[in-house]
Amino acid sequence: MSELIFIALGVTCAAIGGDLFVRGVVGLGHWARISPGIVGATLAAFATSSPELSVALHSATAGTPEIALGNALGANVVNISLILAIALVLTSMRSTREAIRREYIVALLAPLLTGLLILDGELSAFDALLLLLLFVVWLAKAANKAKEQRIEPATDGTRNRQWPVVLYCLSGLVLLIAAGHFFVSGASGLAAQFGIDEFIIGATLVALGTTIPELATTLIARLRGHDEVGLGALLGSNIFNGLFIVPLAASIHPITVAWYEAVPALIFGLVSVALVLPGRNGMINRWRGLLLLMLLLAYFAVLGAGAI
């Protein structure tokens, strides 16, 4: 029972902390005069991936980095096949291919490279370095793009209201770190109690909990008509998860996992991203949302069969 309480506390802290942190980093992006699309793919993506980062740090230092790997890969599937699917079921989305081309390509490369590196059953420190190098290249290109798209300074006085935004960032970060602690404690306890593989726990239960900030960000962006922000945040979050969080955990403690356990999450994550490329008219139609939801059900069925 205590494990479920820990997980419930983790969900609560992730939801509140994620919302505060997103508010803070978007405010910082406004001060830096960065366009909404770039904010979504970088600052908002990093903010919403903070629960996965916290889980990775706690699990790796606790000697169970398999939870970090399962959580990151599972969160990538949930980001697209559940969160984006929900937004799409509500209404079609519009986002030009040019707006997400860089994030889309890297989001596809990340699971492919991870799959190749994990074929030997381990993500080593050297493997982590390769993934981090790709992350640095993507981040540098995103920074250059941000410089090219600088917008005019704010003239409504918002640039003078710095302390509330800083407070949002700090308080949100504290809650997200607490969420990671609760998730790892609860998930590890469940894995030990029921004899469930730690990777499976990370790829299902923990992944669902840590994607709460992405859900809030995407739905708010959809309701406000900023589709490029929601889609960019989800693709950017997948990139952070695969190319920063996973290798960070592996650099702290090598991740040992059977390739047949990780491959389903990698394949489903890859297919889900492939399904959201906008058409030539920039539209992502509602039927794709239904297809993504069916993909998610298949993902959980495959993992459930593997856990038996």
CATH, residue 44:
1.20.1420.30
Question: What residue type is 172 in one-letter code?
Answer: G
Q: Can you say whether residue 226 is alpha, beta or left, with left for phi > 0 and alpha for psi between -120 and 50 degrees?
A: beta
As for how many domains the chain has, the answer is: 1
Could you list the pLDDT tens digit for every one of the 308 residues in the chain?
677 888 888 878 877 877 777 777 777 767 767 666 677 677 777 877 877 888 888 888 988 888 889 888 988 999 999 989 988 888 888 776 666 777 888 999 999 999 999 999 899 999 999 999 999 999 888 878 777 766 555 555 545 556 777 788 788 878 877 877 787 777 777 776 777 777 777 777 777 777 777 777 777 777 767 677 778 888 888 999 999 999 999 999 999 988 888 888 999 999 999 998 887 777 888 899 999 999 999 998 887 775 55
Q: Going by C-beta distance under 8 Å and a sequence separation of 6 or more, which residues neighbour residue 234?
A: 45, 79, 80, 83, 84, 214, 218
Find the domain containing 273 and state its range.
2-307
Residue with tokens 């506390």: 9
